[in-house]
Amino acid sequence: MNLVENLEYNTERPKLIIPEYGRHFQKMVDHAISIEDDAERNRVAQDIISVMGNIQPHLRDVPDFQHKLWDQLFIMSDFKLNVESPFPITSKETLQKRPDPLEYPQNFPKYRFYGNNIKRMIDVAVKWEKGDMRDGLEYAIANHMKKCYLNWNKDTVDDKAIFKHLYELSDGQIDLAKEGENLTESGQFLKNRVAKTPRTSSGKKTQRNQNRGKKRY
């Protein structure tokens, strides 16, 4: 009966600050905090760091790994451990400081179905010197725009519409309509999309249907 009464349940124990190290490590850190002698306390802290490193031997050669262990030691002690650290001690306020909000790019493209990468490609193309390489890039961009349009519309599109959109997105610097270019046929893009669609095997269905009528003994 006494054994049952002396059992410790995790719900009744203090919460682990870094659960990955387990409760025994937390007790070692708590013991180090309670040591009054400075030399002894520093020695125990060094021993704890050594054991922490032994748990992850594959990371011993990683830069700043020791710094990370010392930071974790101070975190587990709730920054109450007074020992000499070979690295700058990260303050509790710095650790708990909320990061600055991430600024998301606020792009509101007129033709969303093309995506932002198309606009980046156009911005690069207009900076190139006019010549065969730029002509090839402009033609490739227009073809990719047509492919994106068909993914969105799933029907067909006239090349003139693509040339018009490209002219607008490039601020009038790319005009393939004036050059009389012809893009890849819409049917070719749609054909390639159908060819990539996975097909279910009819053989397995036939075999499964044949097995339904068989008796099992």
Q: What is the mean pLDDT of residues 22-37?
A: 92
Residue 8 has pLDDT above 80, yes or no: no
Residue 71, both tokens: 């930071």
CA atoms within 13 A on the CB side of 63: 0
Give 71-130 pLDDT, tens digit per residue: 999 999 999 999 998 888 888 888 888 888 887 766 666 788 888 888 889 999 999 998
Q: Kindly give, in sequence order, each residue whose CB lies less than 8 Å from that of residue 174, ignoring residues fewer than 6 positions away.
A: 122, 125, 126, 138, 141, 166, 167
**Exposure string over 193-215, b if 16+ CB within 10 A, otherwise e:** eeeeeeeeeeeeeeeeeeeeeee
Say how far apart CA 176 and CA 168 lie, in whole Å: 12
| Four-residue CA torsion sign, 117, 122, 123, 129 | positive
Mean pLDDT value across the chain: 81
| Four-residue CA torsion sign, 197, 198, 200, 202 | positive
Residue 35 has pLDDT above 90, yes or no: yes
Select, from the ranges 14-18, 201-205, 213-217, the one with the highest average predicted confidence (pLDDT): 14-18
Banded pLDDT at 217 (limits 50, 70, 90): very low
Query: What is the reported pLDDT for 208?
Result: 55
Specify the range with the lowest mean pLDDT, choosing from 47-61, 91-105, 141-155, 181-195. Answer: 181-195
Residue 68 has pLDDT above 80, yes or no: yes
Query: What is the reported pLDDT for 1?
Result: 47
Select, from the ranges 16-30, 51-65, 188-202, the one with the highest average predicted confidence (pLDDT): 16-30
Say how far apart CA 139 and CA 171 lie, in whole Å: 17
Banded pLDDT at 214 (limits 50, 70, 90): low
